[in-house]
Amino acid sequence: MAVRKENKMGVLPVKKLIIIMSLPMMISMLVQALYNVVDSIFVSQINENALTAVTLAFPMQNLMIAVGSGTGVGINALLSRSLGEKRYDRSDAAANMGIFLTFLCFILFLIIGLLFSRSFIMTQTDNSEILEYGTTYLRIVSCLSLGIFFQMTFERLLQSTGRTFYSMISQATGAIINIIFDPILIFGLFGIPKMGVAGAAIATVLGQSVAGTLGLFLNLKYNSDINLSLKRVLNIDGSVIKEIYMVGVPSILMISIGSVMTYLMNRILIVFSTTATAVFGAYFKLQSFFFMPVFGLNNGVIPVLAYNYGAKKKERIKETLNFSITLAVCVMLTGTVIFEAMPERLLGFFNASEEMLAIGVPALRIMGLIFPFAGASIAMGSIFQAFSESIYSLIVSVGRQLILLIPAAWLLSLTGVVDNVWWAFPIAEIGSFILSTIFFRRLMKKVSAELS
């Protein structure tokens, strides 16, 4: 049997390693953010109701992302830690069980898409046009969701072994295909029938499916740290699945809370107007330009932390954390400056009406204030996931989005002034920053004691 060399995560200079690991992920996440924004820009050209419909479908889409991404976090942590400990049978098992779990995730959302798409949209609106748009969009992206689960799983396998460049190729390819096919399918270009909102959904699943297929190919061709085979995938190992979800379930719940939050915010805002809900949808797309690169940084840092934790390299862990937090805050500070300086231009991308500008300009300026706090919280959360303490991230997320944000938004909505509702975001973000700092210091003391 060939002797495996020490992975680069244990030997390269830390700052260089983080750049190598994270930059491709940050770029791919930036491309992903561009795809999200362009997707909504094209949909908004149909009319404002189409943008609102996609916004109402987003909580269920986010739930798919939660299940796939949370499972991926569990795979990532177990695989990277096993490589650091040189337990290669365990790392191979983590990869193959991850693929098995991908199929189970798809079956779950196939059933949800077939049975519950219309009823889900109906709980948020009684506008017949928005209802039809939303049901059509949600049914397509749910029933054809195998691509998104494949994409997330195979990208996580590449990230877990330090091959973030290939992960970037997979994600960027899917996003580019989506961007290309959005206008073609929505507006019926080049002789293809005009599909409207359905075209946007089909372009989305097409990009995801291509990215997932490419991710599989890249793992089989270039990822020598793991061995994939159908036999291993079907050889179900309950202990590995349990260990994946010990980390993955808190992550799934943490991201799922975002679905609950967006659903409840939609319910709060639509009382004011469908335009207020459209503004919230536009904000979510725009803020992804800054949040997504930070999540990319986070994804690049997690395997570095997990590997060096397994290898018991304390100083490399400390340097990784300091550098990643600094980078995250700088990225988010850029977002604050842009949101404060040019909210009208940002909303103009979405074919904003005068009413949408009147609501959206103060909304973007208020919510943009808290980006640096969010960046620091996300960066601190990387250690919770890398060291199998995702429960801390879950508590922070519950505190931010359900205990602080939604009650604050609801209370502020009682004033009858929609501008007041947006202040719930700074209140919630500062609270989550304080809680993240407390948990971060507690965990670092524990890690320092273990590695001393």
pLDDT of residue 289: 83
Q: Is 440 exposed, middle or buried (0-12, 13-18, 19+ CB in 10 A)?
A: buried
* Percentage with pLDDT > 70 across the chain: 95
Q: Are 422 and 369 in contact (CB under 8 A)?
A: no
Q: Are 152 and 66 in contact (CB under 8 A)?
A: no
Q: Is 180 exposed, middle or buried (0-12, 13-18, 19+ CB in 10 A)?
A: middle
Cα–Cα distance measured from residue 134 to residue 318, given in angstroms and rounded to the nearest whole number: 46
pLDDT of residue 77: 78
Domain positions in the chain: 11-451
Q: Locate 197 and state its tokens.
A: 């909102």
pLDDT of residue 3: 46
Q: What is the DSSP letter of 7?
A: P
Range 301-336 burial, b when 16+ CB lie within 10 A, else e: bbbbbbbbbbbebeebbbbbbebbbebbbebbebbb
Q: What is the DSSP letter of 402?
A: I
Instruction: State the chain's mean pLDDT as an integer.
Output: 85
Q: What are the pLDDT digits (tens) for 370-425? A: 999 999 988 888 778 777 777 787 788 888 888 999 999 999 999 999 999 999 99
Cα–Cα distance measured from residue 188 to residue 247, given in angstroms and rounded to the nearest whole number: 44
Range 156-166 burial, b when 16+ CB lie within 10 A, else e: bbbbbbbbbbb
Phi-psi category of residue 351: left, alpha or beta, with phi > 0 → left and psi -120 to 50 → alpha: left
Q: What global pTM score does this model have?
A: 0.76
Cα–Cα distance measured from residue 359 to residue 382, given in angstroms and rounded to the nearest whole number: 35
Q: What are the pLDDT digits (tens) for 77-116? A: 788 777 777 777 777 888 888 889 989 999 999 999 999 9
Side chain identity at residue 403, one-letter code? I
Q: Are 159 and 165 in contact (CB under 8 A)?
A: no
Those residues of the chain that have pLDDT short of 50 are: 1-3
Cα–Cα distance measured from residue 166 to residue 177, given in angstroms and rounded to the nearest whole number: 17
First to last CA, the chain: 34
pLDDT of residue 185: 94
